[in-house]
Each structure stands twice: as structure tokens, then as C-alpha cells.
Amino acid sequence: MVRQAILPVLAVVGFAAAVWAVNKQSAPIVSVPAATNPAMNPFGRAVSGAGVVEPTSESIAVSPAIGGIIVDVFAVWGQNVKAGQPLYQIDARPINAQIAQAKAEIAIRQASVAQAKASLDRLQAGNREEDKRIAAARVDVARTQVEEANDQWARLKPLLESRVSTEDEASRRRFALKQAEANKVLAQAELAKTEAGGWALDVGVQEAAVRAAEAELTAAKAKLLALEVDLDRLTVRAPVDGTVLRVNARKGQYVPAGGVSASTDGAVVLGDIEHLHVRVDIDETDVARFDKTAKAVAFSRGATRIALPLEFVRIEPYVIPKRQLTGASNERVDTRVLQVIYRIDKGDRPLFVGQQMDVFIESGR
């Protein structure tokens, strides 16, 4: 009996819970007002586009020409710098070691040049008088040795005929005479060479050796100069006057040699923000209605009631894929855009590089 009484009660409770849940889900949705109203088109007909504030110089990513470890950072966010002012320093120890080696190489090459020139001077000047006297004395010694060998051979002949001397002794005396005569010829030739001085062919060869040594010295000096240039480049400097927009460099961080990279990827990012530009993306479907001479205004996000006048600067005549996104629900990302640059007069209003703008350009079509 108890069970039969509980079952209807549970059914009633479940039905009531279901009705309550359905009513709660169908409650009216409360709309939340937008934080700021969107910018309104001030013209009758207009071409609209998303713009981004940038320096007049555009953002300059200052990366090193030679990669290495950062040992010091001089740049500070918001700092005004002059062209040539140091921004950060790359470790110079490897280059300094190469410079020391290059200087030692130059010293070796200078010694080689000096030695080659001394040899050339000696050949061009000929032999000294002392060398000539020494060569003449050697000829006299050789002549004396020949006379002595002839005398000994003349004395040996009668002894050989009377069989007092042996054939071995006779052979030794003949060979001694021939050697003395050969030494005399050699000494006379050395004397003639000494008296003749340097041979023209030898002088030409030595002149070529001097030129080769000088060329090697020049190459070593050029190598040192290149290393000194690299040493100076390890102190990365501001390429233009401007303001430090970003500092991505940290002490102890390895920074690779810079190439063409995104404007915000450099170790330090600079820009001339004394005057500002707005880079506007115009959808390719609106390009036909765009008129560069027409009036244009920009509204910063959060200040949609203040229209900032724009002055046309240039068109970058290359339609590119759209990269700047506004976050609008109806925004297309599968399109291409024409980028137009305007100068903006911010007056006393706070505008910063990278800030998004809503831009409207009057159109008659």
C-alpha cells in the first residue's frame, strides 16, 4: 500500500521539476550594451577600411649583421635616439681573437717582404769586394795544390820505372793530381761568378718573389681591416633618428644575424613617431570606388565621436593577402587588400604605433 501511494507522488514531483526547467530555459535573454558605439560613416557614400598607426619611417627592426651573444643593452623603451647611437652590444671575444691572429700574420708577412727585398738588393748590388778576394784566394790555393800534385807525380815516375814504388802508390798520385786540377777549375768558376755579379734571370725571379710577398702582406692587411669592420658592427647602432618602440634584446640572449624580417621581430624596433601615418587596408572589391583625392577621416577605437582628418601620402601598388583583422563577425579573411598610406594629425590626442583605426574615405560611386 505504501509503495502504491509513493509512486504517484514521485510522478507529480518529476512533472513539476520538468515544467520549472523548461520555463527557466525560455527566459528572455538580457542584452548587454556595447562598451563603446562603433564608428559611423560621416559621408553619404564611402569606402571603409581598417587602419593601423605606424611611424612615418615605418617600424625598423634593428638586427645585427653578425650573430652572437648579447653582452649589453643600451636601448630603453620610449628613448629618443640619434643615428649612430649604440643600441646593444654583441660579444666581441671571437672577433678579437681573430684580430690578434691577423696582426701576427701581418708581422710574418712584413718579415717575408723585408727578407725578399734584402735578397733582391744583394743580387742587384753584386758581390762584395771581400767575397771576390776570398774567391781569388781559393783559386790560388787550388793552383798551389795542382803544382804540388804535379811535383809529387814527377818524383814518383823514376821510382815507378825502377820498381821501387808500387802501382797502388802511382794510382793514388794520379788521382790526387786529377782532383787538384778539378778543384782549380771549380775555384776559377766561383771567382768568375763572383766577379760577374747577379744574373739577370736571378734578379727577375727575386723581383717576382718580392711582389708575391707584398701581395700576401696586402691580403693580410685587408683581412685585418675586414675584421676591424666586423668588430665595429658588433656594436649595433641606430640607423636613423627615431624612438625606441620595442626592446626584445636581453643580456645573455643569442641573436642571429638579421635578414628581412617582420617589423616587430628585431632585437630593437625603432621608428620616427614625431609624425604618424595610418596604413589602411582597402578591400579589393572596393578598389574601383577608391579616390585618393577624396576626403578621409579616421576614428580610434573607444573615441568614435572624434574624427581625425587624414592626408593622402601614397598608394603601395601591390595587392596583398589581408593580414590585419578587426575581429568583426562579418569580416572576410579570404580576400586581398590594397594598402594606402595617410598622414594623421593627432594633435593632443594620445595615439600609439600599432593602434587600430576605423577609416572612411568619401566616394562618389
Q: Which residue has the higher pLDDT, 55 or 347?
A: 55
pLDDT of residue 187: 78
Which region among 14-23, 79-88, 171-180 has the lowest average model confidence (pLDDT)? 14-23
Work out the angle at residue 210's Cα, subtended by the Cα atoms of residues 206 and 212, and round it to the nearest 5 degrees: 110
Quickly state the pLDDT bin for 90 (edges 50, 70, 90).
Answer: very high
Share of the chain above pLDDT 90, in %: 48
pLDDT of residue 27: 55
Q: Which residue has the higher pLDDT, 78 or 183?
A: 78
Query: Hey, where are the domains in the chain?
Result: 60-91+234-271, 97-229
pLDDT of residue 8: 67
In 3-state terms the chain splits into helix, strand, coil percentages (rounded to 5) of 45, 25, 30
Cell 569606402 -> residue: 47
Q: Which residue has the higher pLDDT, 184 or 263?
A: 184
pLDDT of residue 260: 45
Q: Which residue has the higher pLDDT, 203 or 284?
A: 284
Share of the chain above pLDDT 70, in %: 77
pLDDT for residue 92 is more than 60: yes
Burial 132-167 (b: 16+ CB within 10 A, else e): eeebbebbeebbebbeebeeeeeebeeeeeeeebee
Q: What is the mean pLDDT of residues 265-294?
A: 91
Average pLDDT for the chain: 83
pLDDT of residue 330: 52
Which region among 79-93, 109-123, 276-290 has the lowest average model confidence (pLDDT)? 109-123
Quickly state the pLDDT bin for 182 (edges 50, 70, 90).
Answer: confident
DSSP character string of 171-211: HHHHHHHHHHHHHHHHHHHHHHHHHH---HHHHHHHHHHHH
Q: What are phi and psi of 270, to 5 degrees?
A: -115, 165
Q: For domain 60-91+234-271, is the CATH number 2.40.50.100?
A: yes
Quickly state the pLDDT bin for 305 (edges 50, 70, 90).
Answer: confident
pLDDT for residue 322 is more than 60: yes
Cell matching residue 316: 603601395
pLDDT for residue 277 is more than 90: yes
Q: Which residue has the higher pLDDT, 303 or 102?
A: 102
Q: Which residue has the higher pLDDT, 123 or 279?
A: 279
pLDDT of residue 114: 95
pLDDT of residue 238: 95
pLDDT of residue 314: 95
Rounded CA separation 105/90 (Å): 25
